[in-house]
Amino acid sequence: MTLTLAPGVTLIPTTKRDNAFLVDGDDGFTLVDVGWAKAPGVLLKALAELGRKPGDIKRIVLTHAHPDHVKGAAELRERTGAHILIHQADAAWLEAGRVPAEGRSGAAGRLIDKLPALHWRPVTPDALLAGGELIQGSDGLRVVHTPGHTPGHVVLVHEPSHTALLGDAVFHRGELALGPAALAADPRLRAGSLTQLPQGIAAAGFAHGTPLTGPDISAFHTFLEQLAPKQHQP
């Protein structure tokens, strides 16, 4: 069941806990994140229900190289012909097919990355992101580099609708949170990275949790203010 967050921005749940986002563009769709190994089938079924075909996905932007976002990426590229884009600081992880030993700040995080279930088919990206750029062909999707959860984590901001697709920079499972510190590469960077987001975000999509739209977005602004109170004082 898909959900429209804003004109041109559609949420597709790939499991009960994981979301991907489809963004309308000049030449077709940009997909933000994939999901676990079964996500390609779920995404292509949702696309068919929208009356569109696999080849309409022109590019896949990965918010970061964690298995719950990229495990289905190799298969989805094969089934759609889409290009895969990721920030340059996470590209080596994507190509390695796993999070490296030093990729999580906590021992619990490092332990889970040894599990074969959390490894993926290595993917060589078609293009690398640096942060600050617009995704070509996407009709206004801006890349904001938000290191902390991973070194190359990015948030995508759909400028026509002021919608932020937050990946794992913010979680919204019950309450807004930065997520478990042990699973982040450098948890100390996370709050500061969020100060890079533009003002006036009108809708928020989370890789994990319920989106915020309409008047509910005020909870997101309050969360940001509490993270970095000095940033918002006159």
Positions in the binding site for Zn ion (CB under 5 A): 66, 68, 168, 207
Of 25 and 84, which has the nearer Cβ to Zn ion?
84
What is the rounded distance in angstroms from the CA atom of residue 156 to the CA atom of residue 164? 6
Of 42 and 58, which has the nearer Cβ to Zn ion?
42
Please state the closest distance from residue 208 (CB atom) to Zn ion, in A. Answer: 6
**Which residue is nearest to Zn ion, using beta carbons?**
66
Of 68 and 90, which has the nearer Cβ to Zn ion?
68
Quickly list DSSP for 182-217. Answer: GGSS-GGGHHHHHTTSPS---EEE-SSB--B-GGGG
Burial of 41 (0-12, 13-18, 19+ CB in 10 A): middle
Please state the closest distance from residue 95 (CB atom) to Zn ion, in A. Answer: 17
Provide the 3-class DSSP secondary structure of residue 165. strand
Please state the closest distance from residue 93 (CB atom) to Zn ion, in A. Answer: 11
Burial of 107 (0-12, 13-18, 19+ CB in 10 A): exposed
What DSSP state is assigned to residue 133? P
Of 90 and 168, which has the nearer Cβ to Zn ion?
168
Please state the closest distance from residue 218 (CB atom) to Zn ion, in A. Answer: 25
What's the angle, vertex CA 147, arms to CA 21 and CA 168, rounded to 5? 35
What is the rounded distance in angstroms from the CA atom of residue 213 to the CA atom of residue 26? 24
Please state the closest distance from residue 65 (CB atom) to Zn ion, in A. Answer: 9
Of 123 and 207, which has the nearer Cβ to Zn ion?
207
